[in-house]
Structure 1
Amino acid sequence: MSLSAVSLDALLTGRAVPFTRPGSLSAIAKEPRQTTLKVTALGLESDEQGDLRVHGGVEKAIHHYPREHYANWTAELGEHPLLSRPGAFGENFSSTGWTEADVCLGDRIRAGTALLEVSQGRMPCWKLNDRFEVTHMALRVQESGRTGWYYRVLEEGTVAAGATLELVERRHADWSLQRLSAVLFDKRIDTDTLRECLELPLPPNWRRTLSRRLENGAVEDWSSRLQGSPKN
C-alpha cells in the first residue's frame, strides 16, 4: 500500500430541496458541519439525496471530492462563487492529497470510527450544468476525469471534520479510479479490457453498463444523464 493518510478538511451534508427544473429535487448544495456525525449504511447523519434512483443508497453512501481539483476548475472557468469553498460538487468529504489517480477500487478507508470502501467513481449528471450555470459542465467533469468517488459503509461509526482518513487495505492496486473511469467513459469498445473490468467487484450499475457494452458492441447514449430533460 502506498496511499498516505490525509486529513478530512471539511465534512458536508445537505437537505433535498426543489431544484432548477420542474419536479426536480437536489441536495447538491452541501454545507459544512462542525459536529461529529453518525455514519450509517446509507451515509452521513442528516444528509439527503434528491433522486434516490441515481443518488445515494448503500453503493453511493458518501461522496468524496478532492479539494485540489478546485484550482484546475478555477483556471478553466475563471473565478466562480461556488469554487470559493468546499461543497461545489455536492461532496460530503473534502480533502487534499488524494485524487482519482491515487485511490483504487475497493480501497478500505478508516474515517473516524467508520470503515469505508471505495465503491465507484462518480458519473456526473446534468445537475452540475444547472448548479454552475455552465453549459456541458457535467460532460467537462466526465472528460476531465475529475469526478470524485463514492464509498459504501462496511462498519458504521462516527466522523468529524479534521479526522484522519487512512488506507487500511488495498485489494486492486492495478485499478485506480482514474483508470477505471477511463474505461467507463471511453467511446471505443475494447473487449479485452471490458472482460478484465468485469472480473472486478464492480457496483451493480457499472457491471450492467459494461456487460451491455460487451454484449452489444456499442457504447450507450449518455445524453439523458449529461443533459437531463429540458427546462420549462
Structure 2
Amino acid sequence: MAEVRLEGRVLGLRVGKKRDGVFRAKGVEGEPSAIGKTPVQEALLESEGLRGDEQADRANHGGIHKAILLFSIDSYQKLALQTGLTFDVENQALLGENLLVEGLNESSVCAGDRFLVGEAEIEISQPRQPCWKLSANNDRSDLSLQIYRLGLTGWYARVISGGVIRQNETLKLLSRPHERLTIAALNRLIQDVSKDAPLLSEALACEALSPNFKNALRYCLEHHINTPPAYIHLPS
C-alpha cells in the first residue's frame, strides 16, 4: 500500500454544556441538548471526549467510540450551496462539532485512520448519523435529511492517547489500514447496503468501525431500508 500523506488543521475547537430550551422547533422547545458548543483556545482530550464537553443524549452520543466529532469547513460550504442556508461558524458549532477542520473531509478520511493532533492521537471510528436536532438547531425541517442524502455528515473519533489540543493545531495522518472505507463511501453504503456487497463485508469486518455503525448497517440490510428513521425525523 502506498504511503498516504494527509494533513488538516483545527480551525475551531468547541465544547458545550447540556442546556434546556435550546431548540425553537415546534414541539421540542424543552428538549435538552449540548449542540450549541462554543469556541475555546485549548482543551484536554480525555478517553471520552474534551474536558468540559457534555452530551444530553448519552445513548446516541458520546462514549469511547464517539469521543469527539469532527466536521469540515468544506462540508459547511457545500451544505450552504445546496440548502441556501447561511452557517455562521465563527462563534458556535451549528452542527455540534468539537473540531471544525480544514484540509480534511468525508472523501479524504477513512474509518481506522489515526491522526496526531496536538498532544493527542485519535482514530476515526464512524460517520456521524444525522439526527433531528441538526434540523431543529438550524430552523430547517429537512436539514438532517439533506445532510444524510448528501453524505456531508462529519465523523467521530475515539481517543488512542489523550492530551491537550489547541486551535490551529495540525492533524497529521499516522496510518491508514482501510483505504476503501472513506466516510463518504460508508455514507453511501448505509443509504443502500445491498449495492456493494464486498464493501459491506469489509465494513462489517473492520475492527476500527464502531459497533454502533455496524449495527446500523445490519439493521438496514435486515429491514430493507435506506433511511434509518431514528436519525432523521423530529420526534412525534
TM-score of the two chains, using structure 1 as the length reference: 0.90
2:46 is the counterpart of 1:37: no
1:89-131 CA distances to partner (integer Å, 9 max, x unpaired)?
A: 1111111111110001100010111110000001000001111
Match runs of 1:201-212 below 5 Å: 201=207, 202-212=209-219
C-alpha deviation, 1:207, in angstroms: 1.9
C-alpha deviation, 1:162, in angstroms: 1.3
Question: Where in structure 1 are there 5+ consecutive unaligned residues?
Answer: none
CA distance in 2, matches of 1:155, 1:40: 8
* Residues 124, 225 of structure 1: 8 Å contact kept: yes
Q: Which moved more, 1:66-75 or 1:43-52?
A: 66-75
* Residues 117, 152 of structure 1: 8 Å contact kept: yes
Match runs of 1:111-190 below 5 Å: 111-186=117-192, 188=194, 190=196
Q: Which moved more, 1:92-101 or 1:220-229?
A: 220-229
CA distance in 1, matches of 2:104, 2:95: 16
Secondary structure at the residue paired with 1:90? coil
Q: For this pair of structures, how many residues does the alignment match?
A: 228
CA distance in 1, matches of 2:5, 2:49: 23
1:160-184 CA distances to partner (integer Å, 9 max, x unpaired)?
A: 1011110011111121111111101
Report the AA paired with residue 70 of structure 1. Answer: Y
TM-score of the two chains, using structure 2 as the length reference: 0.88
2:62 is the counterpart of 1:74: no
Report the AA paired with residue 72 of structure 1. Answer: K
Q: Which moved more, 1:185-194 or 1:142-151?
A: 185-194
Report the AA paired with residue 36 of structure 2. Answer: A
Sequence identity, in percent?
30
Q: CA RMSD in A?
A: 2.1
